[in-house]
Amino acid sequence: MDFAPADRDAALAAFAEVVAESRREPGCVDYAFSPDALVPGRVRVFEHWSGEAALAAHLALPHVARLRASIAGLTRTGRQLARHTVVASAPMGGAAAPRSTEESPA
C-alpha cells in the first residue's frame, strides 16, 4: 500500500494496533505491515493464514473495521494487493542449508 510519505508513520501506527490482535486469531500464521526501505510512503503487507475460512473470519472482525476507519483519512497514493497460494515451504539459508559452490569461504 502506498501512502503520501507524510502519512506513512500514521499508517504504520494504525497497523501496529491491528497486528497484535490479528496474530492472536485462530488460523493466523503470520501478519505484518512493514515500511519499504526504498520507497517513501510504501507499506508492505504480509498475511499468512491457515486457510480461506480463517481469512474470511479475520476480515469480518471489529479490529479490521477499526483499522479501515483509522486509515481512511490518510492520503493513499496506490494499492496493489496479490493473493498467493503456497503449496510447499522449506527452511532457507542458515547452518543446515548446503553452501552454494558460488559462495566464497568466510
In the chain the beta strands, taken as DSSP E runs, fall at 2-3, 28-35, 43-49, 76-78
Query: What does the chain come to in residues?
Result: 106
Count the domains in the chain. Answer: 1
Domain residues for the domain of 55 are 2-78
In a domain, residue 13? The reply is yes
In a domain, residue 64? The reply is yes
pLDDT tens digits for 7-64? Answer: 999 999 999 989 999 999 999 999 999 999 999 999 999 999 999 999 999 999 999 9
In a domain, residue 103? The reply is no
Question: What's the sign of the alpha-carbon dihedral 66, 68, 69, 74?
Answer: positive
Residue 33's nearest CA partner among 62, 25, 21 is: 21
* CATH assignment at residue 12: 3.30.70.100
| pTM, full prediction | 0.75
**Whole-number Å distance between alpha carbons of 75 and 41:** 10
In a domain, residue 24? The reply is yes
**Whole-number Å distance between alpha carbons of 63 and 10:** 17
In a domain, residue 85? The reply is no
